[in-house]
Structure 1
Amino acid sequence: MTGASGFIAGHCIIRLLNEGYKVRGSLRSMNQAEDVRTALSAYADVKDLSFVELDLSSDEGWETAAKGCTFVQHVASPFPNTAPDNEDDLIVPAREGALRALRAAAKAKVKRVVMTSSIAAIGYGRDHPKDYIYSEDDWSNLEGDLTAYAKSKTVAEQAAWEFMQTDAAGKMELSVINPGAVLGPLTSADYSTSGDMVKKLLDGSVPACPAIGFSCIDVRDVADAHFEAMIRKVAAGRRYCLVGDYAWMIDVACELRSAGYAAPVRKLPNFMVHILGIFDPTVRLIKAGLGKKSIFSNQRLIEELDITPRSIKEMSVSMAESMVKFGVISPKML
């Protein structure tokens, strides 16, 4: 399991441990090991959890880390809160990290790799009609108007599938998980970049909701999808769009408000978003998506992996409750 300290990876580890698997997780620094072990021990018996130190940008340690593994879940990938000065700061480590994981897994005779990609590698940079439904057959257009993050996910996933066509891949199989915005309960004070939306709605840092929407998925469904894609025969060589209901930011705010949180439920005019973007680099990231809605099919997720996504209410409120629990926020209540 790469990126073991991450939001998604933590839930993937919990699922694996509770299914009886021994898990070897990678960390950027072994100084993180005890904190991760402590956090996950509240949800699973961690006696079969061990750690290794790996870097997406370095060859050191990858082959040793993969030895003896039956499966690899490659979850690690950079996901910033702000746009990088140079897009290659995201693209290169994402691509090279994926190839390092695959090369090491193939040499270790791993049966299957499950790689975490994103719907950012599926439905961006295209000018389709509003009623177009994106599926696993679609790819984002690298020549289109893509963020550095979307480019990094697209390039990394394409590189992974290209590797699988080479002799070096051997008999190893690949499945790819493409989540939307990942919400749901935290296992520690660390949270995903997607979760910053919930935090901002609760801590008073946004006075109203911009016209930004997301195809959302609960982190527990993401972990379940990684597990099912790992063990199901049908998942070999397949991609999976992981999305539940589409939600505008104001929809999430309304669910939080119905749970007693004083989340703002006014709409923020688009011109105000552009003004705020002058001062806030995080806001600048969302400007391109104002008022735009893209729809993704989750038919393959439901039919092949037998996963029915949780509701926007469940994933939003559970994230809020865990943010309070771990001291991320001290929200105002109604």
Structure 2
Amino acid sequence: MAKVLVTGATGFIAGHVIHQLIEAGHEVTGTARSASRAGPLNQTLSAYAGRPVSLPIREADLSSDKGWAQASEGMDYVHHIASPIPATVPKNADELIIPARDGALRALKAAKAAGVKRVVMTSSMATCAYGWGDQRPNPITEEHWSQDNGAADMTPYIRSKLAAERAAWDYVNGEGQGLELTTINPALVLGPVMSGDFSASVQILTQLMSGKLPGTPKVGFVVVDVRDVAAAHVAAMTSPVAAGERFLVGDRFMWFSEVAATLAREFPAYASKLPSRDIPAWMVHLIALINPPAKQLIPELGRERHISSEKARRVLGWQPRTSEEAVIAGARGLIEAGVV
């Protein structure tokens, strides 16, 4: 079995990658901004796994060189998952772009120096599907790249993911030649949360289930279950044909109204809180003034972005759960964690 480093170990996707790697028998180490996160993280992982988990944590921050060399030493593989994810839109895009890009390069350079075989990096559908305007391909594939052209949908978060992945490929194709890189580019990640500390992507469910929205805006996303994102990472780690490849992973596009209807059907106790009517675009703009997370919905109003995950299915043998399963599992986890 392999020695594997998972960066950003306390994150939503990372927790599931760690769980699946441990279940497969690998020796896993994580990174976090503080080693003090080890205790709470191991409690969370143990509760989810149903058995004791003791994951060593090495301190490493995206914004500092300190700790990366030590974290990568002796590792066969690295899953670089750490990346800043905002709950609200920052005033300065560089707050996200710089740590995402420079952090990816720190992880890759440390892996190269340590003789790591391959880095599997968590990227995003965001690096493929944005900035196209009305000319966007349908469906989006791994051949496409988002256009950082000042378009309204090129938010700071999307620009940060694009900058990080571009920098990663430039590095392994140049100075870092010899280090294998694979990227996993998930759509909107839902599915079971391990604790009340979860990704900003799950806020879509908390917004719907907490009664904060008077209706559903005309917004939708391709959905993918976090367990399937983790499975793609683990498969890509050792697949001989995955090196040098990007993999879009997602099931299907769902409008908010579909998500709300699924939740109302599966969780009738929340039906009174869930919105049952559509709201016009102008109302979303008003809501965003008092509910900051809603601001991130504005560029998505009325847009459908579809992706193809055919490559992941064909190359990695990837078989995802349905979008509905991801929604239901995510909501059930939030209820059990007492978040909604």
TM-score range, shorter chain: over 0.9
The residue that corresponds to 1:156 in the other structure is 164
User: Structure 1's 268 and 159: CA in aligned 2 closer, same or farther, altered over 3 A?
Assistant: same
Task: Say which SS state the counterpart of residue 133 (structure 1) adopts.
Answer: coil
Which of 85-94 and 307-316 deviates more? 307-316
Q: How much does 1:174 deviate?
A: 0.3
The residue that corresponds to 2:200 in the other structure is 193
Assess if the C-alpha contact under 8 Å between 2:46 and 2:53 holds in 1. no
User: Which residue of 227, 233, 239 maps to 2:234?
Assistant: 227
TM-score (norm 1): 0.95
The residue that corresponds to 2:121 in the other structure is 115
The residue that corresponds to 2:33 in the other structure is 28
Residues in 1 aligned to 2:19 and 2:229: alpha-carbon distance in whole angstroms: 12
Residues 104-147 of structure 1: CA deviation (Å, up to 9, x unaligned): 00001000000001111111001344762211010001114110
Residues in 1 aligned to 2:214 and 2:53: alpha-carbon distance in whole angstroms: 45
Task: Say which SS state the counterpart of residue 251 (structure 2) adopts.
Answer: coil
Residues in 2 aligned to 1:281 and 1:323: alpha-carbon distance in whole angstroms: 21
User: Structure 1's 180 and 161: CA in aligned 2 closer, same or farther, altered over 3 A?
Assistant: same
Q: How much does 1:264 deviate?
A: 1.9
Assess if the C-alpha contact under 8 Å between 1:252 and 1:312 holds in 2. no
Q: How much does 1:212 deviate?
A: 0.7
Assess if the C-alpha contact under 8 Å between 1:126 and 1:144 holds in 2. no
Residues in 1 aligned to 2:166 and 2:177: alpha-carbon distance in whole angstroms: 18
Q: How much does 1:46 deviate?
A: 5.1
TM-score (norm 2): 0.93
User: Which residue of 246, 260, 263 maps to 1:253?
Assistant: 260
Residues in 1 aligned to 2:339 and 2:293: alpha-carbon distance in whole angstroms: 18
User: Structure 1's 46 and 64: CA in aligned 2 closer, same or farther, altered over 3 A?
Assistant: farther
Query: Number of aligned pairs?
Result: 328
The residue that corresponds to 1:294 in the other structure is 305
Assess if the C-alpha contact under 8 Å between 2:171 and 2:177 holds in 1. no
1:275 is aligned to 2:273: no
Task: Say which SS state the counterpart of residue 113 (structure 1) adopts.
Answer: strand
Residues 256-288 of structure 1: CA deviation (Å, up to 9, x unaligned): 111023122211111211222233322222111
The residue that corresponds to 1:124 in the other structure is 130
State the identity as a percent.
42
Task: Say which SS state the counterpart of residue 63 (structure 1) adopts.
Answer: helix
Unaligned runs of 5+ in 1: 330-334
1:17 is aligned to 2:22: yes
Letter of the structure 2 residue corresponding to residue 165 of structure 1: N
User: Which residue of 288, 292, 312 maps to 2:323?
Assistant: 312
Which of 301-310 and 100-109 deviates more? 301-310
User: Which residue of 162, 171, 187 maps to 1:180?
Assistant: 187
Residues in 2 aligned to 1:139 and 1:54: alpha-carbon distance in whole angstroms: 29
Q: How much does 1:202 deviate?
A: 1.0
Task: Say which SS state the counterpart of residue 142 (structure 1) adopts.
Answer: coil
Q: How much does 1:307 deviate?
A: 1.4
Letter of the structure 1 residue corresponding to residue 165 of structure 2: E
RMSD between aligned residues = 1.3
Residues in 2 aligned to 1:161 and 1:39: alpha-carbon distance in whole angstroms: 34
The residue that corresponds to 2:3 in the other structure is none
Residues 266-315 of structure 1: CA deviation (Å, up to 9, x unaligned): 11111211222233322222111100111111101111111122112211
Unaligned runs of 5+ in 2: 1-5
Assess if the C-alpha contact under 8 Å between 1:23 and 1:48 holds in 2. no
Task: Say which SS state the counterpart of residue 43 (structure 1) adopts.
Answer: helix
Q: How much does 1:31 deviate?
A: 2.1
Which of 134-143 and 263-272 deviates more? 263-272
The residue that corresponds to 1:237 in the other structure is 244
**4+ runs deviating over 3 angstroms:** 43-48, 128-131
